[in-house]
């Protein structure tokens, strides 16, 4: 039988599972780590990129500004131009002067394609313009102009909107100063108007790398708002018109104008989450913001996330398969080992069975050569295993031809049972055997040889012989006994017949007895009625005579009538006693445990009622409980005690002692009085019916009381006896069988 | 006779004489009707030809019944009396010499109103009769 997997294997399974779970957890943690790292890398790269772009833009804006200032510098501190302007102002109608001024201005305008260049006088009135222009322009821009005059330097105005034209532009204000006799004199200003849509905005707008959402913003603060200065990628006509309050702190633009630097996360004007780099533009109140949507930054990350998840799951699956495979392999290995062990056990088991056999067992090849033997074969042939194996099996039989014949028979029939042969020992001893053989086949049913067992029947033969002798002897004895038994049987039969007759007789007698009993009962019933009736009549009439004829009767006659009456009463009492005595024989007895002391006390009280004048001293000593019919035993005590009272009437006090003791297997009870006693000479008449040992005139009574006592005690299986001496009191004894 | 106080069912004429003597002695002197066996008693109570029907007598106030009677015994008479709607309320005093438990039980079972044993002593006999008549005729109040 192959054992089920041991507990150890279950533990191994548990460990394998634990390894699987741990490895899976590691893979998941590693995946998360890689993912987080990647995320960090990406955001770092995005930060670098954005910072670089912001710096580049600021550098470009700076460059652009410097270029514009250097353009302005051609006009500024140009003494020749200043004197031309002075000339022109002195003589505006001078075409030469005008031409001189315009030549520089147009040259400048052409160099960059400026929108317009204006010349204003000291009072900011427009004096000259390259292109048509409003006259009030100088008034509007007086702030910047004044700043430039006070500073005495070139000032670039902020980007602003021309309300009249709706154009966006910014201006470079150049103060024109002439130095005469080392005194500077302010002449007016030149204003170069720049359209930011040219070069500035495109420069800002240009994103140096391919991006879906990459955008640069140029903003400045205007009171409580942030104003978007440049053209936006996602909203048209935004410059200067789009404003956002500073309270919207999630806007990178707001963060920028409030002083934030570096890179920030925020929500842009489109309400999209963005990553932004903020950089202040030097020498201006501008801030540059380079921003990209986080979605774009992490777009690659999302793909990477799913790829990671995929690889994690793949790894776990592969791991699971490997663990399961190892587990299966281990299990298979365990079962294989078990099976091999079982195989070995089975082999040992079979071998030990073969060796344990007392019968010589051999396997014989189809050619009749012995292939295997057990120890019994060695001992019965007297040859060693080495000798036997390979030799012809028939060599060891006394009749080799017969053995060969039997061998052939095995091939014909498949098996041979209890074929008698004889084996010869090397010592010459011959052993009688019963030869049993059957073919044995391999798993595909090919005959491999014969398996043969020879049973040594020497002992069997001896026992058979002994058995036969014993059997014969036994048969003889059985015959004898059978004869004896027959005689006894006959005797028994006759006894049975006798018994049956006796039983019949008993049955008959019982029936007879029952009939007699019934007759007796009806007899006593009649007695009680019919015998009493005449007595009653005698008494009745006597009484009537005594009453009615009193006057006619003399004293003697009256006395005799009284005697008739008292005798009638006596007769009545005799009848009653006789009846109760005869009934005792037929009464059923109800046995129970009796409290003798209680019974005695009851009887004493009754006696005292009947004999109110007598002093009765009843001394109850140790008394064992009895076993009997309560009513009857009470009757016994009643009779004996009333006798005791009766026969002590000459004494002042009736001294009665009573008690009991156990003797052997019966309890003995006694009642001892101090009365007149009786003469032991007449003891044999004491318990007889109507027998009296005293004169009826001295002691009234019917002579039935003790007879009743005896009958009751006999019916209980006890005895009654008495001891007395005349005038010395009497002791009455009765015994009842003791019951444990 | 138009009114019967007591019916005596008794076969022993000596006993009857003693009973009647006791009546006289007591001075109660009830109107008594005497039936000397069970058949006579049954006939007179239940037969249309009987005394109680033909003479249209009122039912007695007491029946004094002996048990040991010829022909129909006292127990059967008692059974008849107590199972008839008309007579079942008449008090029946069983007056017998038997003191057998069997007889006592059976009598009460059948509906006897009282059970007395005839005493052997004539004084006691007379006294008992006096007490019976006094109690059942003077003291006891009947159903009808």
What's the token pair of residue A99?
């031409």
- Cβ pair A533:B100 closer than 8 A: no
Compute φ and ψ for A588, nearest 5 degrees: -80, 145
Q: Is residue A668 located within the same domain as residue A653?
A: yes
The H or E element spanning position A174 is strand A168-180
Q: Is residue A125 located within the same domain as residue A221?
A: no
Interface check for B52 against chain A (CB to CB < 8 A): the answer is no
Domain boundaries, chain B: 6-139
Per DSSP, the residues of A582-649 read HHHTT----EEEE-HHHHHHHHHHHHHHH-TT-EEEEEE-----EEEEHHHHHHHHHHHHHHHHHTTT
| Structural domain boundaries enclosing A220 | 207-297
Kindly state whether residue A505 falls inside one of the protein's structural domains: yes
Residue A149 has pLDDT above 70, yes or no: yes
Number of folded domains that form chain A:
4
The order of strands in the sheet holding A615-620 is A615-620, A653-663, A666-672, A730-737, A720-724
Residue-wise over A98-122: b if at least 16 C-beta within 10 A, else e? bebbbebbeebbeeeebbbbbbbbe
| More confident of the two residues A701 and A378 | A378
CA distance B98 to chain A (A): 6
Query: Tokens 């200067």 identify what position?
Result: A240
Residue A709 has pLDDT above 80, yes or no: yes
Query: Tokens 């154009």 identify what position?
Result: A167
A 506-525 near B (Cβ less than 8 A): 525
Q: Is residue A559 located within the same domain as residue A594?
A: no
- Cβ pair B120:A543 closer than 8 A: no
Interface check for B51 against chain A (CB to CB < 8 A): the answer is no
* pLDDT at site A6: 62
* pLDDT at site A7: 65
Burial of A452: CB neighbours in 10 Å, binned 0-12, 13-18, 19+? buried
Q: Distance (Å, rounded) from C-alpha A246 to C-alpha A427?
A: 130
- Cβ pair A544:B120 closer than 8 A: no
Percent of chain A whose pLDDT exceeds 90: 22
Using CA atoms, how far residue A509 sits from A345, A513, A514, A515, in Å, is 84, 6, 8, 10
Q: What is the mean pLDDT of residues A606-618?
A: 88
Q: What is the mean pLDDT of residues B55-73?
A: 86
* pLDDT at site A8: 65
Q: What is the mean pLDDT of residues A431-446?
A: 85
pLDDT, tens digit, 9 for 90 and up, residues A683-694 = 888 888 777 777
Q: What is the mean pLDDT of chain A?
A: 87
Q: Tell me, what CATH number does A267's domain have? A: 3.30.450
Q: Tell me, what CATH number does A468's domain have? A: 1.10.287
Q: Distance (Å, rounded) from C-alpha A337 to C-alpha A2?
A: 10
Would you call A527 helix, strand, or coil by DSSP?
Answer: helix
Chain A contacts of B121, Cβ < 8 Å? 539, 569
pLDDT, tens digit, 9 for 90 and up, residues A464-516 = 899 999 999 999 999 999 999 999 999 999 999 999 999 999 999 999 988 88
Nearest Cβ partner for A543 among B12, B100, B122: B122
- Band (pLDDT 50/70/90 cuts) for residue A517 is confident
Q: Distance (Å, rounded) from C-alpha A161 to C-alpha A614?
A: 161
pLDDT, tens digit, 9 for 90 and up, residues A439-451 = 888 888 888 888 8
* pLDDT at site A261: 86
Kindly state whether residue A677 falls inside one of the protein's structural domains: yes
Interface check for A544 against chain B (CB to CB < 8 A): the answer is yes
How many beta-carbon pairs below 8 A join chains A and B?
51
Kindly state whether residue A113 falls inside one of the protein's structural domains: yes
Compute φ and ψ for A245, nearest 5 degrees: -70, 155
Query: Tokens 């010499």 identify what position?
Result: B97
Q: Is residue A530 located within the same domain as residue A557?
A: yes
Kindly state whether residue A106 falls inside one of the protein's structural domains: yes
- Band (pLDDT 50/70/90 cuts) for residue A389 is confident
Kindly state whether residue A560 falls inside one of the protein's structural domains: yes
Residue A1 has pLDDT above 50, yes or no: no
Q: Tell me, what CATH number does A122's domain have? A: 3.30.450.20
Q: For the packed helices A630-646 and A705-715, what is the interaxial angle rounded to 10 degrees?
A: 150
Query: Tokens 């003597």 identify what position?
Result: B21
CA distance B141 to chain A (A): 31
Closest-CA residue to A621 (of A597, A653, A644, A595): A597
pLDDT, tens digit, 9 for 90 and up, residues A566-576 = 889 888 888 88
Q: Is residue A730 located within the same domain as residue A624?
A: yes
Pick the CATH number of B6-139 from 3.40.50.720, 3.40.50.300, 3.40.50.2300, 3.30.450.20: 3.40.50.2300
Q: Is residue A506 located within the same domain as residue A469?
A: yes
Q: Which of A194, A225, A245 is the last residue of a domain?
A: A194
Structure pTM? Answer: 0.41
| More confident of the two residues A442 and B113 | B113
Q: Distance (Å, rounded) from C-alpha B88 to C-alpha A717?
A: 50
Chain A interface test: which of B15, B122, B126, B130 (most A C-beta within 10 Å): B122
- Cβ pair A540:B12 closer than 8 A: no
The H or E element spanning position A661 is strand A653-663
Q: Is residue A657 located within the same domain as residue A553?
A: no
Chain B contacts of A569, Cβ < 8 Å? 120-121
Using CA atoms, how far residue A487 sits from A481, A483, A501, in Å, is 10, 6, 21
Would you call A119 helix, strand, or coil by DSSP?
Answer: strand
Kindly state whether residue A93 falls inside one of the protein's structural domains: yes
Q: What angle do CA A109, A112, A118 make, to 5 degrees?
A: 30
CA distance A534 to chain B (A): 9
Chain A contacts of B15, Cβ < 8 Å? 533, 536-537
Let me know: does B137 contact B8? Beta carbons within 8 Å: no
Q: What is the β-pairing status of strands A168-180 and A415-424? A: unpaired
Percent of chain B whose pLDDT exceeds 70: 99
Contacts within 8 Å (CB) and 24+ apart, A427-430 = A427/A382, A429/A382, A430/A398
Kindly state whether residue A314 falls inside one of the protein's structural domains: no
Using CA atoms, how far residue A670 sits from A309, A491, A600, A662, A711, in Å, is 116, 52, 12, 12, 17
Q: Is residue A605 located within the same domain as residue A687?
A: yes
Q: Is residue A472 located within the same domain as residue A570?
A: yes
Highest averaged pLDDT of the listed ranges A298-302, A681-685, B9-13, B55-59: B9-13
- Cβ pair B120:A539 closer than 8 A: yes
Percent of chain A whose pLDDT exceeds 70: 99
- Band (pLDDT 50/70/90 cuts) for residue B31 is confident
A 546-565 near B (Cβ less than 8 A): 565
Q: Where do runs of H (alpha helix) occur along chain B?
A: 13-26, 38-46, 51-54, 74-83, 101-110, 122-133
Q: What is the mean pLDDT of residues A616-635?
A: 91
- Band (pLDDT 50/70/90 cuts) for residue A396 is confident
Q: Under 8 Å CB-to-CB from A420, ≥6 apart: which residues?
A: A432, A433, A434, A435, A457
Q: Which of A583, A604, A619 is the last residue of a domain?
A: A583
Kindly state whether residue A644 falls inside one of the protein's structural domains: yes
Q: Distance (Å, rounded) from C-alpha A485 to C-alpha A452?
A: 52
Q: Which of A583, A599, A625 is the last residue of a domain?
A: A583
Report the 10 Å Cβ neighbour count for A565. 19
Q: Is residue A654 located within the same domain as residue A568?
A: no
Q: Is residue A98 located within the same domain as residue A111?
A: yes
Q: Is residue A78 located within the same domain as residue A211?
A: no
Nearest Cβ partner for B18 among A540, A568, A569: A540
Q: Distance (Å, rounded) from C-alpha A250 to C-alpha A229?
A: 19
Q: Distance (Å, rounded) from C-alpha A325 to C-alpha A317?
A: 12
- Band (pLDDT 50/70/90 cuts) for residue A9 is low
């Amino acid at each position: 039988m192959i054992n089920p997997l041991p507990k150890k294997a279950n533990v191994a399974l548990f460990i394998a599972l634990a390894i699987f779970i741990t490895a899976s957890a590691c893979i998941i943690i590693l995946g998360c780590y890689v993912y987080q790292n990647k995320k960090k890398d990406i955001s770092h790269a995005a930060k670098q990129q954005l910072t670089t772009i912001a710096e580049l833009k600021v550098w470009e804006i700076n460059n652009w500004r410097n270029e514009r200032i250097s353009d302005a510098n051609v006009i500024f501190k140009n003494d020749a131009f200043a004197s031309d302007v002075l000339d022109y102002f002195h003589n505006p109608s001078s075409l030469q002067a005008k031409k001189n001024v315009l030549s520089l201005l147009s040259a400048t305008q052409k160099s960059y394609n400026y929108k317009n260049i204006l010349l204003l006088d000291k009072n900011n009135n427009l004096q000259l313009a390259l292109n048509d222009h409003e006259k009030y322009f100088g008034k509007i821009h007086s702030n910047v102009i004044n700043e430039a005059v006070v500073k005495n330097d070139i000032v670039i105005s902020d980007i602003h909107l021309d309300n009249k034209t709706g154009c966006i532009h910014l201006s470079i204000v150049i103060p024109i100063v002439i130095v005469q006799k080392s005194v500077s004199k302010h002449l007016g200003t030149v204003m170069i108007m720049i359209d930011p849509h040219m070069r500035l905005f495109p420069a800002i707008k240009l994103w140096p790398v391919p991006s879906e959402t990459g955008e640069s913003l140029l903003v400045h603060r205007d009171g409580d708002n942030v104003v978007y200065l440049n053209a936006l990628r996602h909203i048209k006509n935004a410059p200067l018109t789009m404003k956002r309050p500073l309270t919207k702190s999630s806007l990178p633009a707001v963060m920028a104008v409030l002083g934030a630097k570096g890179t920030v996360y925020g929500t842009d004007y489109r309400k999209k989450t963005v990553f932004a780099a903020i950089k202040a533009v030097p020498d201006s109140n501008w801030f540059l913001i380079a921003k990209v949507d986080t979605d774009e930054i992490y777009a690659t990350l999302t793909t990477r996330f799913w790829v990671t998840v995929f690889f994690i799951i793949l790894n776990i699956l592969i791991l699971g398969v490997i663990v399961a495979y190892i587990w299966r392999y281990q299990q298979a290995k365990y079962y294989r080992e078990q099976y091999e062990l079982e195989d070995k056990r089975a082999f040992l088991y079979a071998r030990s069975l073969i060796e344990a056999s007392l019968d010589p067992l051999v396997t014989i090849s189809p050619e009749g050569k012995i292939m295997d033997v057990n120890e019994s074969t060695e001992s019965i042939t007297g040859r060693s295993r080495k000798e036997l194996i390979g030799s012809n099996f028939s060599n060891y039989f006394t009749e080799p031809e017969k053995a060969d014949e039997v061998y052939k028979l095995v091939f014909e029939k498949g098996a041979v049972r209890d074929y008698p042969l004889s084996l010869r020992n090397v010592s010459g001893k011959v052993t009688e055997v019963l030869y049993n053989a059957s073919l044995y086949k391999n798993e595909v049913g090919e005959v491999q040889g014969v398996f043969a067992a020879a049973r040594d029947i020497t002992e069997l033969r001896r026992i058979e012989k002994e058995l036969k002798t014993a059997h014969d002897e036994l048969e003889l004895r059985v015959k004898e006994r059978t004869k004896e038994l027959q005689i006894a049987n006959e005797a028994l039969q006759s006894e049975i017949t006798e018994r049956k007759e006796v039983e019949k007789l008993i049955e008959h007698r019982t029936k007879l007895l029952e009939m007699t009993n019934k007759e007796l009962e009806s007899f006593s019933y009649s007695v009680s009625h019919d015998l009493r009736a005449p007595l009653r009549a005698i008494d009745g009439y006597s009484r009537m005579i005594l009453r009615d004829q009193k006057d006619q009767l003399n004293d003697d006659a009256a006395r005799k009538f009284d005697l008739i009456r008292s005798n009638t009463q006596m007769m009545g009492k005799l009848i009653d006693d006789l009846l109760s005595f005869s009934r005792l024989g037929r009464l059923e007895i109800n046995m129970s445990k009796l409290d003798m002391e209680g019974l005695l006390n009851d009887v004493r009280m009754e006696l005292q009622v009947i004999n109110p004048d007598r002093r009765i001293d009843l001394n109850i000593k140790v008394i064992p409980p009895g076993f009997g019919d309560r009513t009857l035993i009470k009757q016994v005590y009643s009779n004996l005690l009333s006798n005791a009272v009766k026969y002590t009437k000459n004494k002042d006090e009736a001294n009665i002692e009573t008690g009991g003791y156990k003797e052997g297997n019966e309890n003995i009870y006694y009642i001892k009085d101090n009365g007149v006693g009786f003469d032991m000479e007449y003891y044999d008449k004491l318990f007889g019916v109507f027998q009296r040992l005293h004169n009826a005139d001295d002691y009234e009574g019917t002579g039935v009381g003790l007879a009743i006592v005896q009958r009751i005690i006999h019916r209980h299986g006890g005895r009654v006896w008495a001891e007395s001496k005349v005038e010395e009191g009497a002791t009455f004894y009765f015994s009842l069988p003791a019951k444990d | 006779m138009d009114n019967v106080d007591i019916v005596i069912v008794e076969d022993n004429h000596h006993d009857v004489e003693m009973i009647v003597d006791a009546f006289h002695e007591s001075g109660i002197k009830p109107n008594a009707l005497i039936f000397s066996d069970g058949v006579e008693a049954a006939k007179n109570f239940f037969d249309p030809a009987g005394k109680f029907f033909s003479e249209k007598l009122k039912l007695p106030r007491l029946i004094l019944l002996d048990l040991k009677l010829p022909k129909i015994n006292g127990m059967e008479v008692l059974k008849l009396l107590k199972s008839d709607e008309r007579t079942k309320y008449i008090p029946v005093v069983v007056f017998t010499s038997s003191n057998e438990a069997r007889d006592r039980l059976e009598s009460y079972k059948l509906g006897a109103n009282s059970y007395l044993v005839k005493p052997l002593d004539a004084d006691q006999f007379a006294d008992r009769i006096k007490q019976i008549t006094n109690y059942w005729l003077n003291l006891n109040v009947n159903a009808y």
